[in-house]
Structure 1
Amino acid sequence: MLRLCCILSVLWVAAAHSLPPDKVSAFHIIKTRSIDLNNAHGLAMETRLEKSVKPTGYRLELEPYLEDGLFKGHVSINVTWLEDTDEISVHCAHEIEITNTEVKATFPNTKEIQKVSVKRVSMDIKKPIVTLRLEKSIPKGSEGHLVFGFNGTMETENTEAFFKTTYMEQETERIVAATQLRPNNARRMFPCFDEPGYKTPFQLSVVRPRNMIALSNVPVARTEEITGEPNAVWDHFEMTPPMSTFTLGLVIAELNQLADSKQLQNEKEDSSIELRVWGRPEYHQALEGVNEKLFTVFKEIANFWRVSLPLKRLDIVALPNYQGVKPADNWGLIVFKESDLASKGYLQLAQELSYQWLGAFTTPAWWSDAHLNKALVGYLAAETAFKINNGSEMEGKWPMTVLYSLYYEFSKRYPHSRITGMKQETASTKIELLFRMFNYTFGGDTFREGLREFIKERKFKTFTGDHVWNALTAAAIKDNKIPKDLDVRTIANSWIEKDRLPLITVKRNYKSKSAHVTQKVYLRERPHDVPDAAKMSWWAPLVIAREDALDFNKGTTTIWMKNQKELEINDLPGEEHFIIVNPEEIAPFPVNYDDENWRLLANYLQTNNRLRIPELTRAKLLHDAWNLAYAGDLAFATAFNMTLFLREERHHLVWDPVFTMIDHIGKHICECMHEKFQAYVRTLLTPLYEELIKDEREDEENWRKNLRGHTKTFLCQAGYAPCIKEAQEQFSKWMQAKNPDEGNPIANQYICPVFKYGSKKEWEFGLQRVINFPPSRKQSERTYLLKTLAGCPVDVYKINRLLNLSVLEGNGNFTETDLFLIFSMVSGSPHGHTTLFHFLNNNWNDLKEKFQSKTNLWDNLITSATSQFTTQAGLELVSNLYVAHQGEFGSAEHIIEKSMRNIREEAKWSDANLPVIDKWLDWYLSVYNVNDKVAKN
């Protein structure tokens, strides 16, 4: 509810307030501090103001009462009338109390400032908008200013808007006040035109305690004493460049500057910027080296843009107890969590510094363009981090980490599963990869020049995607990188407007040295019955690396697939040489080939020359082959042949996709070949693991630790004898403990191998620990133990023992939540879901009666027991159960029907692929003389 306190209005009728905002002096301190505000949240980002007036400048004065978490303020906004109107609307959160309003204007063709009476002030009940209704209409072209007095409460529950937080230092509680106004939180601090398109100068004045500093977007112009207030002063900041409301920033805290400032000079533009780092004195040691890192990253980004920021200074703050998910990237003032700023990496700092140009200097025109802003910042930050430290921070995995997740998401029948947040994130990631694609296909020089022209043209303005695409088009055409009839916007939109990615298939004609290239929607999940899939096509660049001229530094765009379903490529090498299309993942699409080209690639990778193919491309070939086989587009024998070189491969990037595929295929194969597949995994991983454990060091790279950890985990799951022995030796310590229920004395990594391959006695010991688990211990430890008890064993006896005890016998130590967990974990392996199915089938009447009033458990049991089969034999089991008990499934009727539909589809895949996999595994195990049996107790 808006409350207008007319009594306070006399405080604003000083002669000074007849001046325009940029001439108004700071208002005097108001002693009254009783404010009753509603803490309403849920701001409507889509709310747009009527375009009857536009702001041209702000004079904002804030007086925070830090102890009380309250603030008073006064804002004068210079405006220009864009149409005749007697109404003016501004953004203002419901929790802001407006205490005074005033409107003055200079009409066209006059010089006299006239005061216009405000007839009524009203707050929109649903939207954070205040509307001033005037006594008369003000004509278009008038200039003047709006004045608001206001009171507010600082945020204390989170670090958003204008917030207050505290921290302990030397047993003393200290206060911090700061702002995080992105994306539309300025309205929660003062009445304003809170839209990104309104870019205007700000003049900020703030009261601060003497023992604290105040930092904002620009330096302090002067500090003013306050009569009768010996412990506080006014800081009046310089006028900012034109900027959006969300980039306004303020910090009030007891901070010290870290070491000396760094000065970066731009001799070409005869300008410089001072770089400073701030933190509490006690934290300075943790920030050691940040000054140098800031200078290095800022210099790199400034060199990329070659357009100086219109700022004298950039302050970087490590703010105690700041809890924002991301830093507050105000223009000229970036606020970090202490731990984030103290971290060793360069990526996050590069992102935040990039926002100084792309986000503050030029700003997305509306929130719908924010994902493009984020994408370009993300790409440039990754490039910067790679250039500075060779990608060691990301272990060299970019862009694989984001690209592979896109491949999996967009190849589903239903991408995003209706999760809007994920959709926005993947949209941004896809555009980030498009920028990478354009950088490769146009060349770095052309790409940079296009973006530099874009920022020059849009500085102090807003931008849309078209501004970026048009600038890149102009640069590419100028440098003859694309035909004149091609534009980047068309290319980009063909990718952005679809929640899909293409699969490019290259079928070579070795006699004519040509290839037939086609594109279709890449689908991994079955069935491939996606609506409109046949209509989809992309503008895709085809870059080709060829064995007879193998130089990955000189890959050039051979041709663009201009929204074409197919085309012919000529002048390819002869039949003895392979080709690689889309090397280095230049564009986000997998590539399939004819069998002969795959054979040439597999053979080459098994030679000593394989290192001539960069690790990212080796990983791509492996990743594409396995996923295409999984999708049904490639024979599994071909995909498995592509793994033969891994016995000699040691680069972690190449191994990165292997573990995912071992997991996927391991879950999909039938029980009949489970042991063969495990033997294959052991043979594949053992040479790598044995080499990794030879020179284990404390100070080794993270990628090496991670690779060793993944390798050991998968080896243990596959029955690697040394792993099982080590796990059982460790587990025996627990079994021999005097009071085993007091705690688990061994690492979690040893538990699953013992429950999977160990004795019944060891597994039974674990079961008793769950049953006797003391309530005084962390329940998360019990949950982990129960998950491994249910999910790790392949022994039918162990699984049945747990199901009988927890479900049929109704042991009181197992809750309904436990049963959900058991069903879920047991169904995660072929042995487990088969055993669960037979448990359901053999005990149907008892289970039906037991769960007749517990539909959630019943539905979950039917789902877990019937949905994981992938073969014709499995389909027959489930179908027979359905026929035998038709009409008895109750709430789960639709579940088993859906299971049968899915199994029918998966069975087609299994019929086509499992015999091929089985035959290949037999060949492999015989060639390498591998025993597929695991010694079990």
Structure 2
Amino acid sequence: MFGVGLAFVCLCFSVVQSLPPDKVSAFHIIKTRSIDLNTAYGLSMENRLNKAVQPTNYRLELEPYLEDAVFKGHVKINLVWLLDADEITLHCAHEIEITETEVKILGHNSDRVDTIDIVKQTMDPKKPVLNIKLDRIIQRGTKGFIVFSYNGNMETATTEAFFKTVYITDQEVERIVAGTQLRPTNARRMFPCFDEPSYKTPFELSVVRPKNMIALSNTPVAKTEEITGEPNAVWDHFEKTPPMSTFTLGLVIADLKQLGNSTVVTDDAGGKMELRVWGRPEFLPALEGINEKFVRVFTEISNYWNSSLPIRRMDLVALPNYQGVKPADNWGLIVFKESDLASKGYLQLASELTYQWMGAFTTPAWWTDAHLNKALVGYLAAEIAFKINNGSEMEGKWPMTVLYSLYYEFSKRYPHSRITGMKQETTCTKIELLFRMFNLTLGGETFRNGLRDFLEISKYKTFHGDDIWYALDSSAKKDKKVAEDISVRSIARSWTDRDRLPLVTVTRNYDAKTAHVTQKVFLRERPHDVPDADRMLWFIPLVIARSDKLDFTKTSPVAWMKNQKEHDLKDLPNKEHFIIVNPEEIGPYPVNYDQDNWNLLATYLQSNKRNLIPELTRAKLLHDAWNLAYAGELSFATAFNMTLFLKDERNHIVWDPVFTMIDHIGRHICDCIHGKFQAYVRALLSPLYEELVKNEREDEENWRKNLRSHTKAFLCQAGYKPCIREAQEQYSKWMQAKNPDEGNPISNQYICPVFKYGTKKEWEFGLQRVINFPPSRKQSERTYLLKTLAGCPVEEYKIMRLLNITVLEGNGNFTETDIFLIFSMLTGAPQGYTTLFTFLKNNWDVLKEKFHSKTNLWDNLITSATSQFTTQSGLEMVSSLYVSHQGEFGSAEHIIEKSMRNIREEAKWSHENIPVIEQWLDKYLANVDIKEEQFIDN
């Protein structure tokens, strides 16, 4: 009857992709999410079903034929008519073959069942929508049901919808796995249904499985039934689920074993939950310790919500050969890739378990509300993971890691470059930080009570985004945490309705012990002529730390800026004491101060009291100062002064933004002071690196290893001789290899230092490896090698040699994609784009002819060769080229004109800032003691 009976799982599962547990790292900014926001953005535009009928229960039976990857299905959907209607519309994928349809209605006392004739049944040719025309109008309030029998094909190319996949055991035996991934709209590919989040209703699932496998779904098996004439398969009938959306339905059928024993957890609300972990038998040793993690995380989350889930069992499954990016967070059944579940962190597990309440128990009414769901899950998961392991999983850097990326993105003239996918992620991250801001400013208890009230009202139902804000507002008003003229919704909307962040400037009056506070849009990129910038205002919490009463535990605002451009603060300390506004990044905004307050901060940070300011705030002060200087809001002399305390700083969280800032400034300043800036970098990093090397331990923390690695990499770029020698020694092993094209025997970290500071022979060897790269090897290795060949050298002859071979000579080993890559890499440093400009200028006629029919390459060449200059002399060079060949740029005419406009702005910046930077560097380098003999002058 059944090849190998199998069934279905309703969300993203997880597979083993051979990554060992100790190599799986969790980065908060790349989190597992309950709803894919890129997909959700598209779904938000999808037409909804009409609301004539509503499902009240599903009875679903699945009979899979696993060997053939096909299945039979039978579904009965109980309905209630919400409107007078003679048509039923629901979702059904085009690949589903419906063999029988019946519509029946119940009498008033449910004692009679009438069959309704179907006049016509049609599929929308463009959408997965099934329309059923009835022979009469059914009155509003009528109850009935619709029954479908149908056939379908299991998905085998991907692990989506109802899928079948296989894996090979350690004993070389092939095993079949079946499951489902129904998020966000894949349920319609498995059975006809009302596949929208708001149609929450109970499910009764029955599935055929082989006797040598187990079946897991949202609820326990209520009964197992033998199949007449089929000795190797049985029916599993699962208990009825609570009301839930179609995409939270889940099922797995596979040869799995339970890890250890079940654990029953009783939460603070008195609810009991049985927790189990499953995996293939040979993988169970890699899951050791997961049960304990599961219990600990589940206990934290359930007690946070103080609301017991209406299910009595929860399973975590490590599923072999699942190919989805995200775990399948079905209600009561969460399916992971083997490597994900075996990883040592807590963040992903906390995220998936949080979703059981916020996403399954209550669900976004439509995909437009998915951002809030994802953001709240992400925030709570991060807080819980941080609480459990003191932030070690994220190296203590959260939320700075995500906040920095927001500062850079939202301060662009054109955030996201109109890339929708990036916009969805950054929008969600901003809302996540907004929840953190409310938790801190309202107080943890008020915030938690608001969320608990929200869940109590919304459980078993769907919600809209404002429902969360209203619940938090009610809790805040009850606890008197916000004034009556402020609403949490108004505060939230001021942040969510625009793709920008504010800059707050605090100017103190030391005699009056007051401060004048202003807000405006924070912009780093020039020119600062963003439309409507003057009309953008935020509700901003003003939390203050002051050195006369230093206390960073108080996170309640002393005042709110209520969509005001200006606000005055009173009762501040005298002129001997600094203030810090927005300590610990309570709100996602940078802060500028008057010069005297910056000086007080810089002096204090250089004292032995520095550590009284928490590391996140020390990092914030440093990050704000440099970014404000970059944006033209603060003198670079002040920003550099804020780095002086780093000679004694050893906390990796504080150092984290330093490397980004070195990179940003190093790319932006002219070649005229590049040597001095590199000398500053050497003086800044050498003591840190030498101490990290001296104290290196085998069992040291990851953050220490990463800090040493980053420090070494930047010192290498600055010409640190020990690093260069080590790189050349390792590189020589490759040069001496008998067959160097068979593979690269050295770590990638050694390649760039050799190409930058090594000999012509060493660089030429790398070039030949690209030219002779075997097609059998991973092309990503060739790409990396080509990127370093172009992007690392500082000598013009190396860059010119590469351009001559790839562009002028047209060496057949290099594709147009390679040329695009080379142009792009040359924009990263003044030596690169200056040499590319010279190459363009000297070979204009040849290049114009060569690219006359390749406008993409031509446009990219003009962009890369002309857009990166930042000085007046650079503007004169580009302008001269424009005048010399005016009318000859073709498709790139607008590109060079834009380049000149941008260079004019950058030249102004350089004119204002380069002398300040150079003067500060001269003074600093005259007083610093550094062993320059250890460095190559570049």
Query: TM-score, normalised to structure 1's length?
Result: 0.93
- Structure 1 residue 524: deviation in Å? 0.8
Work out whether 1:331 is the aligned partner of 2:335: no
Taking the aligned partners of 1:641 and 1:474, their CA distance within structure 2 comes to 45
Shifted more, 800-809 versus 632-641: the winner is 800-809
Residues 36-71 of structure 1: CA distance to partner in whole angstroms, max 9, x if unpaired?
xxxxx9996623111111111111111111111111
Partner of 2:199, secondary structure, is coil
- Structure 1 residue 774: deviation in Å? 5.2
**Corresponding letter in the other structure for 2:66:** L
Aligned to 2:172: 171
- Label 1:509 to 1:368 Cα distance change in 2 as closer, same or farther (>3 A): same
**Corresponding letter in the other structure for 2:264:** Q
Aligned to 1:314: 314
Residues 691-728 of structure 1: CA distance to partner in whole angstroms, max 9, x if unpaired?
11123233322211111111111000011122122223
Taking the aligned partners of 2:138 and 2:781, their CA distance within structure 1 comes to 70
Q: What is the correspondence of 1:809-820 to structure 2 with a 5 Å cutoff?
A: 809-811=809-811, 813-820=813-820
Aligned to 1:69: 69
Aligned to 1:226: 227
- Structure 1 residue 256: deviation in Å? 1.2
Aligned to 2:14: none
Aligned to 1:162: 162
Partner of 1:596, secondary structure, is helix
Higher relative contact order (CA 8 A, sep 6+): 2
**Corresponding letter in the other structure for 2:288:** E
**Corresponding letter in the other structure for 1:262:** T
Shifted more, 775-784 versus 374-383: the winner is 775-784
- Label 1:731 to 1:171 Cα distance change in 2 as closer, same or farther (>3 A): closer
**Corresponding letter in the other structure for 1:205:** S
- Structure 1 residue 769: deviation in Å? 4.1
Q: What is the correspondence of 1:481-880 to structure 2 with a 5 Å cutoff?
A: 481-737=481-737, 740-773=740-773, 777-811=777-811, 813-880=813-880
Aligned to 1:187: 188
Partner of 2:604, secondary structure, is helix
Taking the aligned partners of 2:726 and 2:234, their CA distance within structure 1 comes to 67
**Corresponding letter in the other structure for 2:652:** H
Aligned-residue Cα RMSD (Å) equals: 2.2
Aligned to 1:18: none
Aligned to 1:383: 383
Taking the aligned partners of 1:754 and 1:648, their CA distance within structure 2 comes to 31
**Corresponding letter in the other structure for 1:445:** E
Shifted more, 831-840 versus 917-926: the winner is 831-840
- Label 1:231 to 1:802 Cα distance change in 2 as closer, same or farther (>3 A): closer
Q: What is the correspondence of 1:267-278 to structure 2 with a 5 Å cutoff?
A: 268-269=269-270, 271-278=271-278
- Label 1:880 to 1:692 Cα distance change in 2 as closer, same or farther (>3 A): same
Shifted more, 795-804 versus 564-573: the winner is 795-804
Aligned to 1:246: 247
Aligned to 1:203: 204
- Label 1:71 to 1:734 Cα distance change in 2 as closer, same or farther (>3 A): closer
**Corresponding letter in the other structure for 1:259:** G
Does the 8 Å contact 1:794/1:831 carry over to 2? yes
Taking the aligned partners of 2:428 and 2:461, their CA distance within structure 1 comes to 22
Taking the aligned partners of 1:782 and 1:713, their CA distance within structure 2 comes to 21
Taking the aligned partners of 2:268 and 2:751, their CA distance within structure 1 comes to 63
Work out whether 1:411 is the aligned partner of 2:403: no
Shifted more, 67-76 versus 586-595: the winner is 67-76
- Label 1:852 to 1:503 Cα distance change in 2 as closer, same or farther (>3 A): same
- Label 1:776 to 1:29 Cα distance change in 2 as closer, same or farther (>3 A): closer
Shifted more, 441-450 versus 179-188: the winner is 179-188
- Structure 1 residue 922: deviation in Å? 0.5
- Structure 1 residue 905: deviation in Å? 1.1
- Label 1:112 to 1:728 Cα distance change in 2 as closer, same or farther (>3 A): closer
Work out whether 1:349 is the aligned partner of 2:349: yes
- Structure 1 residue 522: deviation in Å? 0.6
Residues 866-922 of structure 1: CA distance to partner in whole angstroms, max 9, x if unpaired?
111001110011111111121222232222111111111111111111111111111
Taking the aligned partners of 1:882 and 1:267, their CA distance within structure 2 comes to 73
Does the 8 Å contact 1:93/1:187 carry over to 2? yes
Structure 2 unpaired stretches of 5+: 7-38
Does the 8 Å contact 2:866/2:899 carry over to 1? yes
- Label 1:772 to 1:29 Cα distance change in 2 as closer, same or farther (>3 A): closer
Does the 8 Å contact 1:354/1:380 carry over to 2? yes
Partner of 1:827, secondary structure, is helix
- Structure 1 residue 809: deviation in Å? 4.5
**Corresponding letter in the other structure for 1:203:** E
Aligned to 2:437: 437
Taking the aligned partners of 2:385 and 2:569, their CA distance within structure 1 comes to 37
Taking the aligned partners of 1:267 and 1:689, their CA distance within structure 2 comes to 49
Taking the aligned partners of 1:93 and 1:326, their CA distance within structure 2 comes to 23
- Label 1:892 to 1:452 Cα distance change in 2 as closer, same or farther (>3 A): same
Does the 8 Å contact 2:442/2:556 carry over to 1? no
- Structure 1 residue 671: deviation in Å? 0.9
**Corresponding letter in the other structure for 1:51:** K
Structure 1 unpaired stretches of 5+: 1-27, 34-40
- Structure 1 residue 859: deviation in Å? 2.5
Partner of 1:140, secondary structure, is coil
Partner of 1:633, secondary structure, is coil
Does the 8 Å contact 2:675/2:937 carry over to 1? no
Does the 8 Å contact 2:90/2:192 carry over to 1? yes
Residues 657-711 of structure 1: CA distance to partner in whole angstroms, max 9, x if unpaired?
1111111100111111111000000100111111111232333222111111111
Does the 8 Å contact 1:502/1:590 carry over to 2? yes
Taking the aligned partners of 1:808 and 1:82, their CA distance within structure 2 comes to 72
**Corresponding letter in the other structure for 2:895:** I
- Structure 1 residue 421: deviation in Å? 1.3
Taking the aligned partners of 2:336 and 2:864, their CA distance within structure 1 comes to 45
- Structure 1 residue 772: deviation in Å? 4.9
**Corresponding letter in the other structure for 2:126:** K
- Structure 1 residue 775: deviation in Å? 5.4
Aligned to 1:926: 926
**Corresponding letter in the other structure for 2:216:** L
Query: TM-score, normalised to structure 2's length?
Result: 0.93
- Structure 1 residue 930: deviation in Å? 5.2
Partner of 2:61, secondary structure, is strand
Taking the aligned partners of 1:237 and 1:798, their CA distance within structure 2 comes to 69
**Corresponding letter in the other structure for 1:349:** L
**Corresponding letter in the other structure for 1:197:** S
**Corresponding letter in the other structure for 1:879:** S
- Label 1:147 to 1:718 Cα distance change in 2 as closer, same or farther (>3 A): same
Q: What is the correspondence of 1:16-35 to structure 2 with a 5 Å cutoff?
A: none
- Structure 1 residue 623: deviation in Å? 0.6
Aligned length: 902
Does the 8 Å contact 1:541/1:561 carry over to 2? yes
- Structure 1 residue 146: deviation in Å? 1.2
- Label 1:701 to 1:210 Cα distance change in 2 as closer, same or farther (>3 A): same
Does the 8 Å contact 1:108/1:141 carry over to 2? no
- Structure 1 residue 119: deviation in Å? 1.8
- Label 1:617 to 1:198 Cα distance change in 2 as closer, same or farther (>3 A): same
Work out whether 1:461 is the aligned partner of 2:461: yes
Does the 8 Å contact 1:678/1:932 carry over to 2? no
Does the 8 Å contact 2:410/2:501 carry over to 1? yes
- Structure 1 residue 79: deviation in Å? 1.1
Taking the aligned partners of 2:739 and 2:128, their CA distance within structure 1 comes to 61
Does the 8 Å contact 1:520/1:565 carry over to 2? yes
- Structure 1 residue 821: deviation in Å? 2.9
- Structure 1 residue 571: deviation in Å? 0.5
- Label 1:810 to 1:97 Cα distance change in 2 as closer, same or farther (>3 A): closer
Taking the aligned partners of 2:427 and 2:512, their CA distance within structure 1 comes to 41
- Structure 1 residue 575: deviation in Å? 0.5
Taking the aligned partners of 1:330 and 1:779, their CA distance within structure 2 comes to 38
Does the 8 Å contact 2:826/2:836 carry over to 1? yes
